[in-house]
Structure 1
Amino acid sequence: MSRVIQVFEFEKLTLHMDWRGRSLEPRELDKLYEFNDKNNNVYFTGIRDGVKFKNYVGVIQIGGLTIEILPKTDKNVVEDSDFTAWHGALLNMLKICKHINVNSVSEANLKRKHNSLLDLYFEMYLDEVQSLLRAGLVKQYRRDSSNVLALKGRLDFNKNIQQNLIHQERFYTVHQVYDFENLVNQIILRGLSILGALTYNSQLKDRIARLKANFPEIKEIPIQKHHFEKVKENRKTVAYSRALQIAKMIILNYSPDIRSGQENMLTLLFDMNKLWEEYVYRMLLRTKNDNITVSFQNKQVFWEGRTIRPDLVLIRNKNKDNAETFIIDTKWKVLDATNPKPSDNDLKQMYAYNLYWDAKRSMLLYPNSKVINEGFGNYWKGREEKPHEIEHKIEYDRTNQCKVGFINVLDENDYLNLNIGTEIFEKII
């Protein structure tokens, strides 16, 4: 029997039922602990009788249990509608960042609440495999050693004497075979087999069975990371690229339960800091502005061999000889908007960005659930211009500023805010 538990990042999940009726079973918790140990406690923290999730979002499947970890931008009491809103927001963010194929996932699929993130990837994979089967799988030459009835290739004298002393009508040869038995097809088949063991969706199980029935008879081998490194893209395998990408995610994140075979595990987790950074970048690109260019992950040498890398660099060209630079660093964390106090390290980091990129303004961009109008703060030093005194008051030239900016990830209807690019431009430029 399958069940789904939805949690937000930094929430706890234990063996004891919480106020929302959520709890783990002992064997599920053991599997989470085992997974956490293998990954150096990156994805969550082990606590007494449970786990506390970190800033990774996505989905974990353990046997019949699916845990969906969703993002959230405030600490308010959670309502049922919050899970629905952030489930849809996460799927759309992944779609915009091209972690979900736009052509494979329709808007109708994204809005189906029961459709977990893993189910979407499974459907994408099955669509790709079905397309490959319709077009015809790739055949390749391979070397084979076996008994044949006609002499072809090179005769292996030692093996021929050992096996064909009586059956002299046979020849043990080393020869080439042109068939479907190649690495790319074996990877695709292995992905199908893992999906068949994982999914509890009856429709997906039926599709998997039909696809495997249409698959040519090839040997299934255990696939490891080094197998993917051996795959070379050429004109024959270019159609496999999307299927191989999803197969790699499925196979390398699959943890079979050797002992009982009932608690097989598959994880698909995304660092929300990186996803937020990429999402902001892609939304700024979507907001067309002929006078502004947006670049991603710039870097300059800072000290010895070390570099500094602001998330986003914006350049506004007022005219041919007059350009202004702005820096944005995205931060996926909850900050009190009424009294924002970023860390000293973040402010020092933005100070260095301003100097190295000759930017007069920069912004630390945080997610929030409200519309907020913020002002720029001034750094005291760092430019040649000095603050000057006017009627016994210090007046700054406003040449080295940083803002703590907040942006609402959701719109008024609790859908992903698609005007975020325009709003960010207005905040910094």
Structure 2
Amino acid sequence: MTSAQNIVVFEHDKHYFTEEQKRLKLDEVLENYYGDYSPFFKLIRNGVKFNQYVGVLKVGNTTIEVLPKADGNDKDTWRQLLIDMIKTVWGFEIKVSSSADLKLKSNSILDLYFELYTKELEYLLHRGLIKRYNKKEGNLYALKGALQFSKHLSQNLVHHERFYVKYSNYDVNHKIHCILYKALKLINKTNNKPDLNSRIGALLLNFPEMGDIKITESTFDNIVYDRKNHHYEKALQIARLLLLNYYPDVSQGRNNVLALMFDMNRLWEQFVYVVLKRELRVTDFKVKSQVSKEFWRSEAGTKSRMKPDIVLESRNNTIVLDTKWKNLYDNGPSSEDLRQMYAYHHYYKATKTALIYPGEEGKMIKGKYSPIEGNANASDNTCGIAFISTHTDIVIWKKNIISFIKENFFHVIEEG
């Protein structure tokens, strides 16, 4: 694939390949990397249909952006909103590494990560790279560390001036910097924006060259943060996202795939949770996410648990919110969702429950469960259908979320 292409679609859209894309064999590349199944999309006749995942797929020189869709706004608007949602969830709004404002030269999701990563590495170099003790072994002309007797004998029978030793060295050549260097080389290979090329090139010149290491999930899970390296966390988060979602083309080396995709249902849940967690300041009031409870156990010990998206707790009240990224239109919520909320009432002793949807206008539709015969109290359980209005300005959208929750739920907490 030699010429650069840019495809922009909404979630659940279908895209039919153009003659140029067929010539570039885009369909074959996608099928080779994902087979007959991918959580991100499925191949159809002469095209591809995208699922609920949003983000960016970079296939060779072709960039496919999949954007969320909840109202009548255009692609440019939703691209910026998606970028702002990701920045909010990942905490990029908090300038932990620099007081300078982040000014993206291009409004693309991939450029966001490349710009953020470049900025983080520039900051780390300016601050000074940390040193670590790392173990090495080899033939030296001086006795240093512990002599490895068997290897010393086998390699130095005729070199009495040498010693095969294992020793510790205190320098910048350690695992964390190997990870960062590998991610830097990755963005150098995949970046197509001229305005970032010079900055990436400067980083490659100034960052010490590191050896290549194999990267897996455990590589990042085993990193221990302390007072000396806590300022590395943001850069390592982005490096993790880039390196674990990069699939090099081992056969031809041209059609590498970088997939930075997010389940929109999960992103919406995290976005609402982070906004509530950061912005709500109420005495004796907590915002929790994914509070798990057991609700079934077999005689063999098999367990089943329930886990609502967001739980609001005060001293006397519990409110359970489940977020849903979909347009209801006139269909109403599914019976499965309503039954799930009914279970939350009982297991979490919830005062109120609500399903939270994005909408063009904010409104709350109140609903009450039908009483069970012989149990009149069941009718006291309610489940609201909440529509929080989206907005082209992310700041106003966040304010809409906060004001909606306060107006529709705080009186319950205050009465308690």
* TM class by smaller structure: 0.7 to 0.9
Q: Which AA in structure 1 matches 2:353?
A: S
Give the direction of change, closer, same or farther, for the CA distance of 1:417–1:226 in structure 2 (3 Å limit).
closer
Correspondence for 2:406: 425
Q: Trace 1:26-41 onto structure 2 (pairs within 5 A).
A: 26-37=24-35, 40-41=37-38
How far apart, in 2, do the equivalents of 1:419 and 1:107 lie? 25
The residue correspondences of 1:3-402 to structure 2 (distance < 5 A) are 3-16=5-18, 26-37=24-35, 40-74=37-71, 82-98=74-90, 100=92, 102-103=94-95, 109=103, 114-156=106-148, 159-160=151-152, 163-285=155-277, 286-290=279-283, 293-304=286-297, 305-315=303-313, 323-336=316-329, 339-372=330-363, 374-381=365-372, 384-385=375-376, 399-402=380-383
The unaligned stretches of length 5 or more in structure 2 are: 298-302
Structure 2 CA distance, aligned partners of 1:354 and 1:230?
Answer: 39
Q: CA, structure 1 residues 221+8, in 2 after alignment: closer, same or farther (shift >3 Å)?
A: same
- The one-letter code matched in structure 1 to 2:319 is F
Give the deviation of 1:7 after TM superposition. 0.9
Change (3 A) 1:341 1:107: farther
- Are 2:79 and 2:107, in contact at CA under 8 Å, matched by a contact in 1? no
Matched letter for residue 190 of structure 2? L
Amino acid at match of 2:352: R
CA distance in 2, matches of 1:185, 1:242: 14
How far does residue 417 in structure 1 lie from its aligned partner after superposition?
A: 5.1
More displaced stretch, 190-199 vs 121-130: 121-130
1:33 maps to amino acid: E
Structure ID, larger Rg: 1
Cα distance between partner residues in 1 of 2:314 and 2:226: 41
Q: Does residue 1:409 correspond to 2:403, yes or no?
A: no
Q: CA deviation at 1:9?
A: 0.5
* Structure 1 partner of 2:300: none
The 1:218–1:279 alpha-carbon spacing in structure 2 relative to 1, beyond 3 Å, is closer
CA contact (8 A) 1:14 1:24 kept: no
How big is the shift at 1:90? 1.1
Partner Cα separation in structure 2 for residue 45 and residue 324 of structure 1: 44
Asked whether the equivalents of residues 360 and 399 of structure 1 are also in contact (C-alpha less than 8 Å), the reply is no
* Contact 1:257 1:265 (8 Å CA) reproduced: yes
- Cα distance change on mapping 1:301 and 1:227 into 2, 3 Å: closer
CA shift at 1:371, angstroms?
4.0
Mean Cα displacement is larger for which, 361-370 or 157-166? 157-166
Q: Which amino acid aligns with 1:280?
A: V
* Equivalent-residue separation in structure 2 for 1:161 and 1:413 (angstroms): 68
Per the normalisation by structure 2, the TM-score is 0.84
What amino acid sits opposite 2:342 in the alignment? Y
Structure 1 residues 72, 383: closer, same or farther in 2, change over 3 A? farther
Q: Please, what is the CA RMSD of the aligned residues?
A: 3.1
Alpha-carbon displacement from aligned partner over 1:96-138 (angstroms, at most 9, x marks no partner): 222535327987736x6x3311211112212222222223323
Deviation for aligned residue 1:194: 1.0
Residue 273 of structure 1, CA deviation: 0.9
Q: Which amino acid aligns with 1:97?
A: V
Helix, strand or coil at the partner of 2:399: coil
Tell me the CA shift for residue 251 of structure 1: 1.0
Cα distance change, pair 334–171 in 1 and its aligned pair in 2 (3 A): same
Question: Does the 8 Å contact 1:315/1:324 carry over to 2?
Answer: yes
Count of residues in correspondence between the two structures:
400
Deviation, structure 1 residue 372: 4.1
Q: Which amino acid aligns with 1:34?
A: N
Change (3 A) 1:164 1:283: closer
Letter in 2 for 1:306: S
Deviation at 1:23, TM superposition (A): 5.8
Tell me the TM-score normalized by structure 1. Answer: 0.82
Task: Select between 251-260 and 202-211 the one with higher mean Cα deviation.
Answer: 202-211
Question: Are 1:92 and 1:416, in contact at CA under 8 Å, matched by a contact in 2?
Answer: no
Distance 1:211 1:380, change over 3 A: same
Q: Which residue of 2 aligns with 1:320?
A: none
Over 3 Å counting, the alpha-carbon distance change for 1:124 and 1:157 in structure 2 is same
- Post-superposition offset of 1:177: 3.0
CA distance in 1, matches of 2:221, 2:349: 42
**CA separation of 1:155/1:54 partners in 2, compared to 1, >3 Å: closer, same or farther?**
same
* Contact 2:388-2:400 at 8 Å conserved across structures: no
The change in CA–CA distance for 1:73 and 1:316 in structure 2 (over 3 A counts) is same
* SS in structure 1 of the partner of residue 270 of structure 2: helix
Deviation at 1:175, TM superposition (A): 3.4
Counterpart amino acid of residue 422 in structure 1: S
How far apart are the structure 2 equivalents of 1:62 and 1:284? 37
Shift of 1:70: 0.9
> What residue identity is the alignment partner of 1:109?
K
Alpha-carbon spacing, 1:340–1:316, altered in 2? closer, same or farther (3 Å): farther
8 Å CA contact 2:275–2:398 kept in 1: the answer is: no
Counterparts of 2:395 and 2:192, CA distance in 1: 30
Q: Is the 8 A contact 2:81 2:392 kept in 1?
A: no
Cα offset, 1:222, TM superposition? 3.8
Structure 1 residues 290-328: Cα deviation after superposition (integer angstroms, max 9, x where no partner): 4754332223321112222222233466xxxxx343332
Contact 2:183 2:242 in 1 (8 A): yes
**Secondary structure in 2 aligned to 1:376?**
coil
CA distance in 2, matches of 1:9, 1:399: 38
CA contact (8 A) 2:366 2:382 kept: no
